[in-house]
Amino acid sequence: MIQVTLKDGSVIEVEKGSTLLDVAGRISEGFARKVLSATVDGKVHGLPLPLEHDCHVTFNTFEDADGRLAYRHTASHVLAQAVKRLYPDSKLAIGPAIDDGFYYDIDSETVFTPEILEKLEVEMRKIIKEDLPLVRFEMPRPAALQFVESMNEPYKVELVQDLPEDAVISFYSQGTFTDLCAGPHLARTGKLKGNAIKLTSCTGAYWRGDSKRKMLQRIYGTCFPKKEELDAYLQRIEEAKKRDHRKLGKELGLFAFRDEAPGFPFYLHNGMVLRNTLINYWREVHKKWGYLEIMTPQIMRRTLWETSGHWDHYKDNMYTTLIDGEDFAIKPMNCPGSILVYDLEPHSYRELPLRYSELGTVHRHELSGALHGMFRVRCFTQDDAHILLAKEQIKGEVMRIAQLFDEVYSLFRLPYTIELSTMPEDHIGTEEDWEIATNALADAITSLGKEYTINPGDGAFYGPKLDFHIEDCLGRTWQCGTIQLDYQLPGRFNLEYVNSSGEKECPVMIHRVVFGSIERFLGIITEHFAGAFPLWLSPVQVKVLPITDRTHDRCEELVALLQQKGYRAEADLRNEKIGYKIREAQMQKVPYMLVIGDKEAQDGSLSIRTRTGEQLTMSVDEFLAKIEKEVADKTI
Q: pLDDT tens for residues 191-211?
A: 999 999 999 999 999 998 888
Closest CA to 350 of 133, 507, 239, 546: 507
Q: Which percentage of the chain shows pLDDT scores above 70? A: 100
Mean pLDDT of the chain: 94
Rounded Cα gap, residues 582 and 605, in angstroms: 18
The radius of gyration of the chain from alpha carbons, rounded to an integer in Å, stands at 29
Structural element, H or E, at residue 553: helix 552-564
Give residue-wise pLDDT tens across range 588-608: 999 999 999 999 999 999 999
Distance CA 447, CA 461 (A): 26
- Say which residues have a Cβ less than 8 Å from residue 288's Cβ, sequence separation at least 6: none
According to CATH, what is the number of the domain 66-241? Answer: 3.30.980.10
Q: Which of 84, 246, 331, 465 is catalytic?
A: 465
Q: Is the pLDDT of residue 624 over 90?
A: yes
69-87 pLDDT, tens digit each? 999 999 999 999 999 999 9
Check if 386 is active-site: yes
Please tell me which residue in 22, 66, 383, 384 is annotated as part of the active site. Answer: 384
- The whole-angstrom separation of Cα 370 and Cα 376 is 7
Q: Region 536-562: what's the mean pLDDT?
A: 96
Q: Are 47 and 24 in contact (CB under 8 A)?
A: yes
Task: Give me the mean pLDDT over the 296-308 stretch.
Answer: 94
Find the mean pLDDT for residues 283-305.
Answer: 96
| Average pLDDT of the residues in 407-436 | 91
Confidence bin at 461 (pLDDT 50/70/90):
confident
511 is catalytic: yes
pLDDT at 636 over 90: no
CA distances from 527 to 25, 245, 248, 516 (A): 45, 6, 8, 16
Mean pLDDT on 537-558: 96
Per-residue pLDDT at 369 exceeds 80: no
pLDDT at 529: 96
Report the C-alpha gap between 526 and 246 in whole angstroms: 9
Q: What's the confidence (pLDDT) of residue 367?
A: 81
For residue 243, is pLDDT > 80? yes
Q: Which among 29, 46, 41 is positioned nearest to 2, based on CA atoms?
A: 41
| Mean pLDDT to the nearest integer, 164-191 | 94
pLDDT at res. 309: 84
Fold of 2-61: Ubiquitin-like (UB roll) (3.10.20)
Fold that domain 259-296+334-528 belongs to in CATH: BirA Bifunctional Protein; domain 2 (3.30.930)
Classify domain 542-632 by CATH number: 3.40.50.800
Tell me the one-letter amino acid at 383: D
Residue 428 has pLDDT above 90, yes or no: no
The pLDDT of residue 418 is: 96
CA distance 54 to 15: 11
CA dihedral 617, 618, 619, 623 (to 10 degrees): -120
Q: How many CB atoms are located within 10 Å of the residue 349 CB?
A: 17
Of these residues, 181, 223, 335, 555, which one is catalytic?
335
Tell me, what's the pLDDT at 437? 86
Average pLDDT over residues 554-558: 96
pLDDT computed for residue 329 by the predictor: 94
465 is a catalytic site residue: yes
DSSP state, residue 494: T
- Cβ neighbourhood burial of 553 (10 Å; 0-12, 13-18, 19+): exposed
Given 198, 355, 364, 554, which residue is catalytic? 364
Catalytic annotation, pick one of 185, 386, 400, 512: 386
- 382 in active site: yes
220-253 CB burial, b ≥16 within 10 A, e <16: bbbbbbeeeebeebeeeeeeeeebebbebbeebe
pLDDT band (50, 70, 90) for residue 576: very high
Those residues whose C-beta lies under 8 Å from the C-beta of residue 29, and which sit 6 or more positions away, are: none
pLDDT of res. 430: 84
pLDDT, tens only, 39-64: 999 899 999 999 999 999 999 999 99
- Is residue 615 scored above 90 in pLDDT? yes
Q: Where are the domains of the chain?
A: 2-61, 66-241, 259-296+334-528, 298-330, 542-632
